[in-house]
């Protein structure tokens, strides 16, 4: 019996090591496919810049004293769409303008649209490969793959991509988000495999709990959705400045016109970022409560102002302030957007800053 059990242990260890190696190969393969998707998204934006989008900006907004511009015809993939030049009005209460959403990154160019669809297909493929890498990592350690920053990073980027693809599957107009998302996913995975990589290992005793699956999984999902909202908020600030310049009679640069005119209107971007942040905020509240319950089981106290606990609460307060401000008439628009970015900055520091530079009970496996 002793000999048989001794032989089984090395065999299991070898199997786990092979799974860990397979996981690494899959993560690098996903990075390669994400890179191809990145170039496809670039091609979509480049070919879209050749369309008539750049020439419709002036027609969509009339300078003071200018005559009404005629309807603008924009060729789209598979047909033709006619855009009526809207009357631009500024609403004093909300600070918004009645402008239409842009046609998207492809800008109405058929070839640009083709590259965009190729980019989406590559993103789906990379997502499946990366998901396989996360799954094999979990099998190699026989636990949830969230025990250190490397595992958190690869899971986070997988979930962020999944959120994006999920919105596309729900027929939401978010394809414009693809280039920005994939760029950050590549940076996240590059940081994971070069700086944060940690070999497969078992968890410390405090983490052996079913709350690991509940608390950490919700934290990852919340972070992915907060990230999508932050990207939309940043783009809103650029688009709002662009629309303000047009409304005041200014002439934006050619590059700004070509890029920003294809995005949704600032009002649409503002509404989108608010909705995703508001939708996930209750789940972030549950994440903190679940963490407190887990702390009570693991350490005998529900709250001890550990750095991670403190910054999780600060992040909660920041998003609560944003949602409150966003629902208040005087704080819509840019002011609320700045609060949203501050809140997301708190979330980023809670993860990277606290885990790397601040020691506490939430520090495990070096990083």
The owner of tokens 């280039």 is 179
Displacement of CA 120 from its chain's centroid (Å)? 15
CA atoms within 13 A on the CB side of 13: 8
Q: Cα 101 from chain centroid?
A: 21
Burial status of residue 80 (CB atoms within 10 A of its CB: 0-12, 13-18, 19 or more): exposed
pLDDT at 363: 55
How high is the mean pLDDT in each 10-residue block of the chain (367 residues)? Answer: 48 72 93 96 84 47 43 46 42 54 80 92 97 92 82 92 94 90 94 86 68 87 93 93 85 80 89 93 94 80 81 94 82 87 93 75 51
Q: Which residues contact 238 (CB under 8 A, 6 or more apart)?
A: 260
Give how far the C-alpha of residue 363 lies from the chain's centroid of Cα atoms, to the nearest Å. Answer: 25
| 3-state secondary structure labels for all residues of the chain | CHHHHHHHHHHHHHHHHHHHHHHHHHHHHHHHHHHHHHHHHHHHHHHHCCCCHHHHHHHHCCCCCCCCCCCEEEEECCEEEEECCCCCCECCCCCCECCCCCCCCCCCCHHHHHHHHHHHHHHHHHHHHHHHHHHHHHHHHCCCCCCCHHHHHHHHHHHHHHHHHHHHHCCCCCHHHHHHHHHHHHHHHHHHHHCCCCCCCCCCHHHCCCHHHHHHHHHHHHHHHHHHHHHHHHHHHHHHHHHHHHHCCCCCCHHHHHHHCCCCCHHHHHHHHHHHHHHHHHHHHHHHHHHHHHHHHHHCCCCCCCHHHHHHHHHHHHHHHHHHHHCCHHHCCHHHHHHHHHHHHHHHHHHHHHHHHCCCCCCCCCC
pLDDT at 53: 46
Residue 214 φ/ψ, nearest 5 degrees: -80, -55
Torsion 181-187-191-192 (CA) sign: positive
How many CA atoms does the CB half-sphere of 137 hold within 13 Å?
Answer: 27
Q: 112 and 44 in contact (C-beta within 8 Å)?
A: yes
pLDDT of residue 5: 47
Query: Could you tell me the CA-to-CA distances from 64 to 105, 247, 250 in Å, in that order?
Result: 29, 9, 10
> pTM to 2 decimals?
0.80
Q: In angstroms, what CA-CA distances link 343 with 202, 229, 280, 316?
A: 33, 11, 13, 8
């Amino acid at each position: 019996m002793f000999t048989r059990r001794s032989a089984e242990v090395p065999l299991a260890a070898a199997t786990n090591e092979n799974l860990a190696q397979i996981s690494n190969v899959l993560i690098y393969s996903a990075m390669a496919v994400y890179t191809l998707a990145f170039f496809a998204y670039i091609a979509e934006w480049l070919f879209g810049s050749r369309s008539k989008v750049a020439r419709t900006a002036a027609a969509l907004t009339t300078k003071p004293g200018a005559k009404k511009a005629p309807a603008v015809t924009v060729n789209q993939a598979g047909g033709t769409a006619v855009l009526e030049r809207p009357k631009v009005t500024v609403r004093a209460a909300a600070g918004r303008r009645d402008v239409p959403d842009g046609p998207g990154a492809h800008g109405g160019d058929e070839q640009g649209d083709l590259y965009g669809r190729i980019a989406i297909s590559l993103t789906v493929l990379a997502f499946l490969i990366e998901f396989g890498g996360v799954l094999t990592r979990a099998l190699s350690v026989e636990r949830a793959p969230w025990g250190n920053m490397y595992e958190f990073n690869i899971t986070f980027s997988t979930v962020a991509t999944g959120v994006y693809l999920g919105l596309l599957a729900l027929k939401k107009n978010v394809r414009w988000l693809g280039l920005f998302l994939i760029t950050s996913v590549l940076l996240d995975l590059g940081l994971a495999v070069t700086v944060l990589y940690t070999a497969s290992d078992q968890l410390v005793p405090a983490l052996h709990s079913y709350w690991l699956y509940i608390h950490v999984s919700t934290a990852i999902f919340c972070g992915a959705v907060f990230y999508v909202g932050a990207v939309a908020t940043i783009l809103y600030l650029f688009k709002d400045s662009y629309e303000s310049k047009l409304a005041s009679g200014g002439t934006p640069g050619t590059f700004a016109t070509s890029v920003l005119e294809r995005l949704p209107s600032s009002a649409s971007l503002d509404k989108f970022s608010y909705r995703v942040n508001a939708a996930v905020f209750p789940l972030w509240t549950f994440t903190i409560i679940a963490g407190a319950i887990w702390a009570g089981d693991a350490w005998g106290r529900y709250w001890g102002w550990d750095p991670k606990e403190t910054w999780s609460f600060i992040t909660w307060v920041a998003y609560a302030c944003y949602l409150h401000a966003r629902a208040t008439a005087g704080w819509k628009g840019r002011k609320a957007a700045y609060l949203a970015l501050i809140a997301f900055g708190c979330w980023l520091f809670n993860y990277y800053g606290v885990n790397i530079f601040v020691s506490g009970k939430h520090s495990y496996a070096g990083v």
